[in-house]
Structure 1
Amino acid sequence: MAEHKVVVVGGGFGGLSLVHGLRAAPVDITLVDRRNHHLFQPLLYQVATTVLATSEIAWPIRLLYRERKEVTTVLDEVLGVDRQARTVRLKSGRQLAYDTLVLATGARHAYFGRDEWEGVAPGLKTLEDATTIRRRILLAFEKAEIAEKTAEMDALLTFAIIGAGPTGVELAGMIAELANTVLPPEFRKIDTTRTRVLLLEAGPRILPAFTESLSAYAKRALEKLGVDVRLGQPVTAITEEGVTIGETFIPCRTVIWAAGVQASPAAQWVNAAADRAGRAHVKPDLTIEGDDNIFIIGDTALVLGEDGKPVPGIAPAAKQQGSYVAKVIKARLAGDPTVSPFRYRHQGSLATIGKRAAVIDFGRIKLTGAIAWWIWGLAHIYFLIGTRSRLAVAWSWLWIYLSGQHSARLITQKETLKDNS
């Protein structure tokens, strides 16, 4: 009897958790991803702000499964799914047959109908995004050093982050620290401490997923770093020259988008109902309506918690869903179709503000300041893959903590100082 064919689309937290959970199961697994690496997205902003190198938060997928002979890795892009034939159509022209299909394709940043903003305000979801943002940040200081006009220098030293969720808050804090503590001794003409960092949020407060007290603490911590936090003011225009808030234009050469996400087109591939963000509606066992052989997990699925609210699109949730689906598949193969519905266990919310402050919400326990920062760091190191990565990240953070220097400050793309990107 041929082994059960499981096709997993997406090598993120959900997909890898699923593959890990199927170890020793009588299955043949094909893992498809557009990139050859798994990315630890929670630390992506640290690559963008020169703290970590790309190799410290990403690992080749083939390396992860070199000892798993039942796992085949395919570098390709999915274009569609034929539910009747049970095949996945790839960009290369290949067709992958499946008995069980798991879509764990994640999400990308969304611009609320203003897609033309993406060219001047990149989001942060991939390594390419991170290195693009890092290049723009570093080039802004280099261009300011040789700028001949004060107005141009001021615009180059103004950075705007749109969206005040964890990513926006973390980016704002790290850019402020870079300008205030790392770069001042290295430039001769400009005073990098004059850098202006704007955190723009259309809502009433930053970190809306946290309690109001933690949100207020984070705002004070950012303002202590010199970040200009503006709330309740939506951005109405973004150009290469700057941003417009309401009707106020601010000259600004570096804009970063951290305001919204859009799910992958997975729901369209399988003709499943979806919400406005493109997340597929799934049943309590994470399958789609009308097809128990297709699971959708992670950021591209609309999963409801016991309180009726959507499960947050964060790494722990995707990992729990991947582990759950692995248990469902193994139970089915063992002849037990009765599996309890998925239950999300919230393990806490964490966000860092600079290198010595953070906020943590563990429900009854809420922490701020240096102790929260240490716990945040230990938690992230623990979830990194492999001893080498844990040691590398721990050493990078220790070095920065002791010396105040960021080591990953290379501008690697071939671009001149005249290039606005």
Structure 2
Amino acid sequence: MQRHRVAVIGAGFGGLFAIRALRNAPVDITLINGTAYHLFQPLLYQVATGVLSEGEIAPPIREVLKRQDNVDVKLGWAQHVDTENKVISVHGPSIDYTVEYDTLIVAAGASQSYFGNDQFSEFAPGMKSIDDALELRARIFGAFEIADLQTDPEAQERWLTFVVVGAGPTGVEMAGQIAELAHRNLPGQYKHIDPRKARIILIDAVGAVLNTFGDHLSTRALRQLHLMGVEVELNTKVVDVDLTGIEVESERGHQRIPSMTKVWAAGVQAPALARQVAESAGAETDRAGRIMVNPDLTVPGHPEIFALGDMMNLAGPDGRPLPGVAQVAIQGGNYAAKVIEKRLRNKPAPDPFKYFDKGSMATISRFSAVASVGKFRLSGFFAWIMWLVVHVFYLVGFKNRFTTVVHWAVSFLGRGRSERVATEQQAFARRAMKEYGDPYQLVRAAEEAEALKAADPVPTEKHPSEPTTYAEKATAAK
């Protein structure tokens, strides 16, 4: 007899913890993920600023699950879920395939939201993937190098101005690390510029930094940012972003900030898959595209489909949607696995999902952080130590924890940055991929050509207009 088939879309916190919780269940699990690694997203900004390498926050999925025999890991991007026939259509590298399921867990995370201005992404990368972090690393460290070559003071200032959009945890942590680079790590290494003269500007449309942490911690964070030399512009809306600057509107009116390096950390939205699943299942979504789920995290009308983490909208005790943080996804993954196991054993369903808030934390600089845990509000060194312990605990794998602590020691106790290598490929790959499209399309075209050749082996003369260079072939394939 065929065992119960569980398909999991996404290897983030929700998907991974659900899979681990089902390790002893009588199920066969198929994991579909667009990358071959699990990403510890809260530390992406440290990859972007040279503190950590990408391998330390992104362990290979197959290595993480190598002792779990009931999992089949498949690389690919889920494109469509047929909820009636219980079939997932997946677009994989050079091959498309389908996966059938009895139970589906949708935990594909979130994508960056530019609030309808997706053209901003070319000039202000977000912070949602390893590709984003490596591109930003190349842009940030490259900006100091290029500034050192400039003879025009205005051009030099433009290269030494860094703008971070979004004053939530990611934006605050990013601005703080760039300030640490400029004021602590890089001075004395350049002949023609003083990195300490760099401008780091943090912009947000709301009136507070870390506004979900409460007034007390928000004020502490703002004070620390000012002490670090970060210019904080609140109640300021971004209206345009281009190659050489960013335009904003505030109480002072319209203003242009010349800057070659911009970082977008302002908003998130559910991926397109969430809306597709909701439409197929007849469910509703919120403005951010998240699926409105039942109290047991299932999609209304489809008890076999669970939506977790950033894919779901579920009201908490205060009536507001649960936040898109790792703990919501982790607890949701464990809960979904418990529901599945009880169903297979014909036992009563557990109580509705109840999120246990373990608090929120954000670093501002070395030895300085803020933490909101229950009724406690901590800031400064003790909050920073708590942040270190919590993040090390949730890193997957002993090797990752060990090397991360070593690199933190180098960066926070010393003045070095372990990962400063940045390449042109990292800086410009996004543009190339956008121009050429699917890089595996050439592979597909070659396979089709081989099939045609096998069917009709008579050689044909090359037509003068047939593409020959890689660029021509890529354009033709696209």
TM normalised by structure 2 equals 0.86
Q: Which amino acid letter does the alignment assign opposite residue 286 of structure 2?
A: D
Tell whether 2:152 aligns with 1:129.
no
| Aligned equivalent of 2:464 | none
| Aligned equivalent of 2:446 | none
Q: CA deviation at 1:277?
A: 0.4
State how far apart, in whole Å, the 2-side matches of 1:338 and 1:394 are.
41
State how far apart, in whole Å, the 2-side matches of 1:189 and 1:66 are.
51
Post-superposition CA distance 1:299-355 (Å, at most 9, x none): 011121122211110001100000000000000001024321000000001000011
Structure 1 residues not aligned, in runs of 5+:
none
Q: Give yes or no for contact 2:49–2:178 (8 Å, CA) kept in 1.
A: yes
State how far apart, in whole Å, the 2-side matches of 1:57 and 1:28 are.
28
Q: Which amino acid letter does the alignment assign opposite residue 316 of structure 1?
A: Q
Post-superposition CA distance 1:169-224 (Å, at most 9, x none): 00000000100011111101001000000000110101011010100000000010
Q: Which amino acid letter does the alignment assign opposite residue 14 of structure 1?
A: G
Q: CA deviation at 1:97?
A: 0.8
Q: CA deviation at 1:363?
A: 2.0
| Aligned equivalent of 2:238 | 235
Q: Which amino acid letter does the alignment assign opposite residue 223 of structure 2?
A: R
Of residues 287, 292, 301, the one that matches 2:312 is: 301
| Aligned equivalent of 1:252 | 259
Tell whether 2:397 aligns with 1:386.
yes
State how far apart, in whole Å, the 2-side matches of 1:198 and 1:2 are.
58
Q: 1:44-193 alignment to 2 at 5 Å?
A: 44-91=44-91, 92-193=95-196
Q: 1:323-362 alignment to 2 at 5 Å?
A: 323-362=334-373
TM normalised by structure 1 equals 0.97
Residues 245 and 268 of structure 1: is their aligned pair in 2 closer, same or farther, counting only changes over 3 Å?
Answer: closer
Answer with 1 or 2: which has the greater Rg: 2
Q: Which amino acid letter does the alignment assign opposite residue 389 of structure 2?
A: L
Q: Which amino acid letter does the alignment assign opposite residue 241 of structure 1?
A: T
Q: Give yes or no for contact 2:123–2:243 (8 Å, CA) kept in 1.
A: yes
Q: CA deviation at 1:414?
A: 3.7
Q: 1:283-302 alignment to 2 at 5 Å?
A: 283-302=294-313
SS of 1:313's equivalent in the other structure is coil
Q: Which amino acid letter does the alignment assign opposite residue 317 of structure 2?
A: E
Tell whether 2:206 aligns with 1:195.
no
Structure 2 residues not aligned, in runs of 5+:
433-478
Tell whether 2:276 aligns with 1:269.
yes
Post-superposition CA distance 1:138-160 (Å, at most 9, x none): 11001100012000000000000
SS of 1:209's equivalent in the other structure is helix
State how far apart, in whole Å, the 2-side matches of 1:313 and 1:343 are.
15
Q: CA deviation at 1:415?
A: 7.6
Q: CA deviation at 1:89?
A: 0.8
Deviates more, 1:390-399 or 1:6-15: 390-399
Residues 16 and 47 of structure 1: is their aligned pair in 2 closer, same or farther, counting only changes over 3 Å?
Answer: same
Aligned length: 420
State how far apart, in whole Å, the 2-side matches of 1:386 and 1:145 are.
40
- Aligned sequence identity (%): 42
SS of 1:28's equivalent in the other structure is strand
| Aligned equivalent of 2:8 | 8
Q: CA deviation at 1:420?
A: 11
- The structure richer in helix per residue is 2
Post-superposition CA distance 1:62-102 (Å, at most 9, x none): 11111211100000111101111111111133111100001
SS of 1:237's equivalent in the other structure is strand
Q: Which amino acid letter does the alignment assign opposite residue 270 of structure 2?
A: A
Q: CA deviation at 1:416?
A: 9.2
Q: Which amino acid letter does the alignment assign opposite residue 410 of structure 1?
A: V
State how far apart, in whole Å, the 1-side matches of 2:36 and 2:96 are.
19
State how far apart, in whole Å, the 2-side matches of 1:298 and 1:139 are.
35
SS of 2:327's equivalent in the other structure is helix
| Aligned equivalent of 2:28 | 28
Q: In angstroms, what is the RMSD of aligned CA positions? A: 1.6
SS of 1:311's equivalent in the other structure is coil
Q: Give yes or no for contact 1:170–1:351 (8 Å, CA) kept in 2.
A: yes
Of residues 367, 372, 380, the one that matches 2:383 is: 372
SS of 1:113's equivalent in the other structure is coil
Q: Which amino acid letter does the alignment assign opposite residue 324 of structure 1?
A: Y
State how far apart, in whole Å, the 1-side matches of 2:138 and 2:426 are.
9
Tell whether 2:412 aligns with 1:401.
yes
| Aligned equivalent of 2:229 | 226
| Aligned equivalent of 1:212 | 215
Residues 397 and 236 of structure 1: is their aligned pair in 2 closer, same or farther, counting only changes over 3 Å?
Answer: same
State how far apart, in whole Å, the 1-side matches of 2:274 and 2:49 are.
34
SS of 1:93's equivalent in the other structure is strand
SS of 2:28's equivalent in the other structure is strand
Q: Which amino acid letter does the alignment assign opposite residue 296 of structure 1?
A: A
Q: Give yes or no for contact 2:122–2:431 (8 Å, CA) kept in 1.
A: no
Q: CA deviation at 1:229?
A: 0.4
